[in-house]
Structure 1
Amino acid sequence: MIEVTIIRKDSENIHSFEISGHAFFANRGKDIVCAGVSAVSIGAINAVHALTGVTPEIGHGDGFLRCVLPELQDGINEKVQLLLEGMVVSLQTIEEDYGKYIKITFKKQEVE
């Protein structure tokens, strides 16, 4: 199962997200759930960088992606948040149709 954790600040802004695991919906290379989650999450990170110039801290490996945002000024932060909220909506859509293979959890950041 793919586990997605979205970490929000007290302000409800997204601070970071982590995605780990494999869907095992189909054989490697034919797994549309893994492909969808990868495309949505990596596409969101690429959009943040391309459209706002913000470079998040990224960690990745086999079946693992972690993205942490730096502190941002309000105008840029609003744009970044909109892009990441779009990612969340897309992931939730995947979860609605393939809930046996992906689980999304929301948490509050412990220390701001």
Structure 2
Amino acid sequence: MIKVVFDAPQERITSFTLSGHANFAKKGSDIVCAGVSAVSFGAVNAIMSLTDVEPEIEQGREGGYLRCVIPGNLSPESEEKVQLLLNSMLISLQTIERDYGKYMKIILNQ
């Protein structure tokens, strides 16, 4: 199962961590894994490309792990953009969880 943990004190997403494997299908055919990966990496890439923010990123060598921490000293404009992108990611992942909840779980720490 893929576990996605969002840390969002005071309604500001400060970090997220993905861990585990969906095991929906064999490697290379797992649509749950592919969807979660595409949404997550797309959000991180969008943050880096569309804002002046350089998040702290940690990845597992064998896959199955991604951690992204957002710096705390952002300008109001950058903060707004980053939060929009991260909330879009959360909504997309919630859509996947709704249909494939047996293979992934989202935890929102507020």
Q: TM-score, normalised by structure 1?
A: 0.93
Which 4+ runs in 1 deviate beyond 2 A?
Answer: none
Pairs within 5 Å for 1:72-91: 72-91=74-93
2:68 alignment partner in structure 1: 67
Pairs within 5 Å for 1:18-37: 18-37=17-36
Q: List runs of 5+ in structure 2 lacking aligned partners.
A: none
**The residue matched to 2:67 in structure 1 has which SS?**
strand
Q: Which amino acid aligns with 1:76?
A: S
Q: Which has the higher strand share?
A: 1
| Percent of matched pairs sharing the same residue | 60
Q: TM-score, normalised by structure 2?
A: 0.95
TM-superposed CA distance for 1:55, in Å, is 1.1
* Separation in structure 1 between the aligned mates of residue 39 and residue 52 of structure 2, nearest angstrom: 19
**The residue matched to 1:18 in structure 2 has which SS?**
strand
**The residue matched to 1:14 in structure 2 has which SS?**
coil
Q: List runs of 5+ in structure 1 lacking aligned partners.
A: none
TM-superposed CA distance for 1:74, in Å, is 1.2
